[in-house]
């Protein structure tokens, strides 16, 4: 890669610029703000600022990461796709199915490599968990419980939480979109989820105009019951899942990067590496996308997979509004 770019100037964009510099130290890296403004403040890991997607196209960049707020992903990504520039879009891919369909039409017409940034699929314990579930390690799956909670004001301590994307409805905020990793990996691990019931709540504690608590009940195609809880409220970060089957149970702690198998006779640590550098997920995701660009074997999250999460969020919102 000789020339790469990142759209967006938030925390995740900062990480992506740093990682691109690490992976392609000799490449020129261009940055663009989501709005196209030229920032007065210094932008880290950057060789130049541009004010438009057209400027990126004219610069003949070879890879772009779109890390602007999700409602702007389509308007930023589609011109790049039409120009044949490989584009990695941060999660969630968009906030509407109309935008998903517009991106998909562009991909089909121009055959440009596009992937979506669900980096948790590259967490070693996640990869090991998928192997175990696919192999039927715990027999027939009966129940899955997925839970994430973290206090929103602690996410970015140097910024008022009410000003961040997560809290802003117009920027794609709310627990459903911001914590959509859980909805993505649930379907990656378990297959399609058939929504049964959903409850969305906004607490008085954070005083947001978006949901800060989500509770979902769904069924897999095989009839296993799956419950998903998302929140912005837990003071100590919590990200754990459990999978209960006819032959045992697997507990997954994403923060500790650990899997524990419990059967009738023993408890076994299947995987544990709490010190693993989680930035390696993001590097692996970019490496995988480069393999996609080169038409090599890869495991990228493609648009149609990411679309199922947007569609599921739509179903949750519609169902919750009816109750």
pLDDT tens digits for range 101-123? 999 999 999 999 999 999 999 99
Categorize the per-residue pLDDT at 232 as very low, low, confident or very high, splitting at 50, 70 and 90: very high
Could you tell me if 128 and 98 lie in one domain? no
**Mean pLDDT for the chain overall:** 96
Give the model confidence (pLDDT) of 244-287 as tens digits: 999 999 999 999 999 999 999 999 999 999 999 999 999 999 99
What is the total count of domains within the chain? Answer: 2
How large is the average pLDDT for residues 29-53?
94
**In whole angstroms, what is the distance from residue 155 CA to residue 56 CA?**
31
Which backbone phi and psi does 189 adopt, to 5 degrees?
Answer: -85, -35
- The continuous run of DSSP H or E covering 287 comes out as helix 279-293
Q: Is residue 311 part of a domain?
A: no
Q: Is the pLDDT of residue 40 over 90?
A: no
Cis peptide before 92 (omega within 30 of 0): yes
Q: Which residue has the higher pLDDT, 274 or 40?
A: 274
Tell me what pLDDT residue 62 has: 98
Neighbours of 90 (CB within 10 A): 23
Structure confidence at residue 306 (pLDDT): 98
Contact partners, residue 279, CB within 8 Å, separation at least 6? 15, 19
Residues 112 and 136 in one domain: no
Residue 232 · residue 173 · CB < 8 Å = no
Q: Which of 54, 89, 119 is the last residue of a domain?
A: 119
For the chain, give the longest Cα–Cα distance: 64
% of the chain with per-residue pLDDT over 90? 89
Range of the domain at 80: 3-119
- Per-residue pLDDT at 321 exceeds 80: no
pLDDT at residue number 155: 84
Judge if 133 and 112 occupy the same domain: no
Claim to verify: residue 138 and residue 261 sit in the same structural domain: yes
- Please check whether residues 113 and 144 belong to one and the same domain: no
What percentage of the chain reaches a pLDDT higher than 70? 99
For 155-199, what is each residue's pLDDT tens digit?
Answer: 877 788 888 888 788 888 899 999 999 999 999 999 999 999 999
């Amino acid at each position: 890669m000789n020339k790469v770019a990142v759209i967006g100037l938030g925390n995740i964009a900062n990480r992506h610029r740093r990682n691109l510099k690490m992976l392609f130290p000799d490449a020129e890296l261009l940055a663009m703000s989501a709005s196209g403004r030229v920032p007065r403040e210094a932008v880290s890991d950057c060789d130049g600022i541009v004010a438009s997607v057209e400027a990126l196209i004219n610069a003949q960049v070879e890879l772009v990461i779109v890390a602007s707020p999700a409602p702007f992903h389509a308007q930023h990504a589609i011109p790049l796709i039409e120009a044949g520039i490989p584009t990695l879009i941060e999660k969630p891919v968009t906030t509407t199915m109309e935008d998903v369909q517009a991106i998909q039409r562009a991909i089909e017409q121009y055959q440009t490599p596009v992937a979506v940034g669900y980096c948790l699929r590259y967490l070693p314990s996640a990869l090991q968990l998928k192997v175990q579930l696919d192999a039927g390690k715990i027999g027939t799956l009966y129940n899955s419980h997925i839970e994430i909670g973290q206090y929103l004001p602690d996410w970015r301590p140097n910024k008022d939480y009410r000003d961040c994307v997560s809290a802003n409805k117009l920027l794609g905020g709310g627990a459903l979109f911001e914590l959509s990793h859980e909805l993505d990996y649930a379907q990656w691990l378990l297959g399609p989820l058939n929504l049964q019931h959903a409850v969305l709540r906004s607490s008085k504690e954070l005083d947001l105009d978006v949901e800060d608590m989500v509770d979902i009940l769904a069924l897999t195609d095989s009839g296993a019951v799956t419950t998903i809880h998302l929140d912005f409220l837990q003071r100590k970060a919590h990200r754990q899942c459990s999978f209960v089957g006819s032959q045992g149970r697997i507990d997954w702690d994403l923060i500790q990067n650990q899997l524990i198998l419990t059967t009738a006779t023993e408890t076994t640590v299947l995987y544990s590496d709490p010190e693993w550098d989680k930035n390696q997920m993001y590097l692996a995701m970019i490496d995988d996308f480069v393999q996609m660009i080169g038409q090599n074997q890869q495991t990228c999250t493609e648009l149609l997979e990411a679309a199922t999460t947007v569609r599921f969020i739509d179903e949750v919102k519609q169902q919750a509004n009816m109750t």
